[in-house]
Chains A and B, each alone.
Chain A
Amino acid sequence: GAVVSQHPSRVICKSGTSVKIECRSLDFQATTMFWYRQFPKQSLMLMATSNEGSKATYEQGVEKDKFLINHASLTLSTLTVTSAHPEDSSFYICSASGTSGRALPYEQYFGPGTRLTVT
């Protein structure tokens, strides 16, 4: 099946710094990418949806100025957590969908996730 990678897999940063997480579709063109986060003992929750070349659509309660999403190409989306605080510590997962290459229509292909710890 289609493959999505995420980098880094783990990151520890100090409070107040910014962290960028990359999500790449390796063998297909991702027209849509989704960003999720999961806090401990809670369900995975959708943060935002981004279509290539367009501004991301954020779910209610997710601050767009804090979680900057860039989907500038069909194979790369980035999530930047700006001025990170300890409460932003979470597991962040991206997924991608597309209709080219190895991707089936409307299927979501998930990255392996990034565990962010803010100290």
Chain B
Amino acid sequence: KQEVTQIPAALSVPEGENLVLNCSFTDSAIYNLQWFRQDPGKGLTSLLLIQSSQREQTSGRLNASLDKSSGRSTLYIAASQPGDSATYLCAAEGANNLFFGTGTRLTVIP
């Protein structure tokens, strides 16, 4: 069964810093890798989707990479802002399910 792990579980950075969130998965047979943002009490907001044939995707200050062979994905956030504070989840889509990571709780300090 696919296992998705995110490291670190929590991260605090000063405003303006660039940061990297990590996601690892055990089964490389995935269709895609997705990154989400979760605010307290709210539903997930989709950030980026990387198809299995792609290496990276970019949206604004966000860049996500995918290395299927090593079972890793990273989410790079440039010039972090206090509004970026949230929990970030990655999810790997397999044949019949979507496997979620444990999340990284990010705090950006003004």
Contact = CB atoms under 8 A, between A and B. Distances in A.
Nearest to A1: B102
Contacts of B103: 107
B38 A44 contact: no
B96 A106 contact: no
B102 to A, nearest CB: 9
State the majority secondary structure of interface residues on B.
strand
B34 A43 contact: yes
Interface size range of chain A in the complex: 20 to 34
Contact of A91 (B45, B87, B98, B100): B98
Which of A43, A46, A59, A91 has the most B CB atoms < 10 Å from its CB? A43
Interface residues of B, number: 22
Contacts of B41: 32, 97, 106
B43 A43 contact: no
A46 B51 CA distance: 20
Contacts of B43: 34, 36, 46, 49, 59, 95, 108
Interface of B: 31-32, 34, 36, 38, 40-46, 49, 51, 87, 91, 93, 96-98, 100, 103
Interface of A: 9, 32, 34, 36, 38, 41-46, 49, 59, 91, 93, 95, 97, 106-108, 110, 112-113, 115
